[in-house]
Chain A
């Protein structure tokens, strides 16, 4: 098992280096020059350019710049935002909990609905239930997420007035944020209606963001279950007189979960992509909105840092999923 862990971690390192190389080259590939990109100054005189380039270390050979860049990364220096002059890493960490809370709720929703839907669709194959589940999930991942969010707002906020349109909590509430997770902080603040407000603000974005993972998980669970239900060991389980629940949810599901776990891990990329769009629509103060604004304002240090950190998160989550896969699949554990 240890060998498996080390091997997996080892495989990740070159990819991480590749990402840093990509982020580094981004600045140099943008139209204009790197000095403009990093400082935000436009229309510099040649003297000013030389001065700035020297300050930013841009007059040194590329590989030296890259090495310096790596060193700075290891010290936690991901650059400085042109707009706010804050350290990119610091801004990221401030905004990340909002996105994390949203993503966690989205994936929980997706699992709670998607897993049972997939299992039932597989067990009652080709029934009306099966077709409905498949139809709904197909529609779910065929929709542009931002349009779906707009429709949700149209129905629940505008027509029904049940949910607010933007933000994480009503402005009237003001309490210290200890965890950064609005649900937890609101609950702990003890203020009347605070938790409820946090929930109503969270629910539409979570639904919008969770729809695609829900659809993918439902489909994947169904197809994994269909394959597993055909296996000999399921036949053995039935021949032993085990109950339906035992056969399907213990014997079959345990094996079907193996590919499903991989799929769940892959959803992290979808969640980040979706977060960019969802946060824009709901004015959710997370890293998605932060990145989009940075692009529009040409705040390239933020774009560079944001891409790097997001990719690192995706790689780490995939690594965790790989390791979890080893736990769940005994064959991998024993190195066969």
Chain B
């Protein structure tokens, strides 16, 4: 049984007559200790999916799924008390902008000790010692001093380390990282990724890494899920999926990487933009931008098909296995 099982997850916003569909029919499964990367452009629905897993989508957002379970426990039908017990303890999340994600009015120690107080308990002195220990585990320089610091006194990299410390404080089985390095300096990015991987290996924690940066995914993940306009368009194991992508979108993403454009005058790009609220195609969602579009793509929306670890949503996948 997988640690996280999601079937047909859909999230929409706005008025029911003219909804903004953020996530449509997404299936996702993560096993214990696995590292899964979810890639896609802005607007692909990858962040919204993770918020839906955590139950952090508020009305007027509407979340629906055939099944959503963590370690067998149904997430859809859960009481708020059970959910609060689960968040931070069984599943934790870190976000894109660490400096905005920490409360500016409280010290690092306060915010760390708070998580421990809610899920683990213990006297204040014990929790403080544990908080210090956590800061050491995330390679925080000068941890004693940082404990008493306020968030605005920390750099981006340090803030994100605090976020990671808060997330792993109660040894969660799944850590969701939503664009954890996007807002950080390039030099810090590598450090933070290494840290996440090391912690993941040490603790046998599953890691769901959400990013638009294929380079990040290639270094860290074992499996990749590619999303476009709210749908999953391809899944596969690394390195195969990047060596032989089957969906035109995956291939176009790879082609747009600077490394793959050495010697060219111009970067290869994907023309057009992600569909918005009012121009969602009736057929394949990529069709307006796809170099390989055929009449069938305009009329019929493709479904996901293929082996469980190598799914693709296309009428004419690139390895020739047409439907």
Q: Which residues of A contact B (CB under 8 A)?
A: 231-233, 235-243, 246, 251, 254-255, 328-331, 334, 336
Contacts and interface: CB of A to CB of B under 8 A. Distances in A.
User: Nearest 10 pairs between A and B by C-beta?
Assistant: A241-B87, A241-B88, A232-B100, A240-B88, A233-B103, A241-B84, A232-B101, A236-B101, A330-B150, A254-B105
Contacts of B100: 231-233
A242 B102 contact: no
B150 A239 contact: no
B316 interface: no
Interface residues of B, number: 29
Interface string B138-161: 000000000000101100000000
B84 A239 contact: no
A331 B105 CA distance: 8
B103 A330 contact: no
B92 interface: yes
A232 B88 contact: no
A334 B152 contact: yes
Interface in B156-212: 163, 166
26 contacts: A233-B100, A233-B103, A233-B104, A236-B101, A236-B166, A238-B87, A239-B88, A239-B92, A240-B88, A240-B166, A241-B83, A241-B84, A242-B114, A243-B84, A243-B118, A246-B114, A254-B105, A255-B103, A255-B105, A328-B105, A329-B105, A330-B152, A331-B150, A334-B152, A334-B153, A336-B152
Contacts of A238: 56, 87
B56 A235 contact: yes
Contacts of A237: 103
Interface in B110-134: 114-115, 118-119
A231 B152 CA distance: 15
Nearest to B86: A241
Given A232-B101, A236-B95, A241 B56 contact: no
Contacts of A241: 83-89, 115, 118-119
A241 B119 CA distance: 8
A239 B114 CA distance: 12
B87 A331 contact: no
A240 B101 contact: no
B262 to A, nearest CB: 38
A253 B56 CA distance: 20
Interface string B90-109: 00110101001111111000
B163 A236 contact: yes
B95 to A, nearest CB: 6
Given A233-B102, A239-B54, A239-B87, 18 more contacts: A232-B95, A232-B97, A233-B101, A235-B95, A235-B101, A236-B163, A236-B166, A238-B87, A239-B93, A240-B88, A240-B114, A240-B118, A240-B166, A241-B84, A241-B119, A242-B118, A243-B118, A330-B105
Nearest to A330: B150
A201 B74 CA distance: 60
Nearest to A237: B103
Contacts of B114: 240, 242, 246
Contacts of B92: 239-240
Contact of B103 (A239, A251, A329): A251
A236 B102 contact: yes
B175 to A, nearest CB: 11
Interface in B62-100: 83-89, 92-93, 95, 97, 100
Contacts of B95: 232, 235-236
B101 A242 contact: no
A239 B56 contact: yes
A158 to B, nearest CB: 47
A239, A242, A334 interface centre (most CB from chain B within 10 Å): A239
B148 to A, nearest CB: 12
Contacts of A331: 104, 150, 152
Nearest to A329: B105
Nearest to B87: A241
A237 B103 CA distance: 9
Interface string B221-252: 00000000000000000000000000000000
A232 B199 CA distance: 24
A330 B104 CA distance: 7
A240 B87 contact: yes
A334 B85 contact: no
Contacts of B84: 241-243
A235, A241, A243 interface centre (most CB from chain B within 10 Å): A241
B56, B84, B97 interface centre (most CB from chain A within 10 Å): B84
B26 to A, nearest CB: 20
A268 to B, nearest CB: 25
Nearest to A252: B103
A211 to B, nearest CB: 31
A239 B101 CA distance: 11
A236 B119 CA distance: 15
A240 B84 CA distance: 8
Contacts of A330: 104-105, 150, 152
Contacts of B166: 236, 240
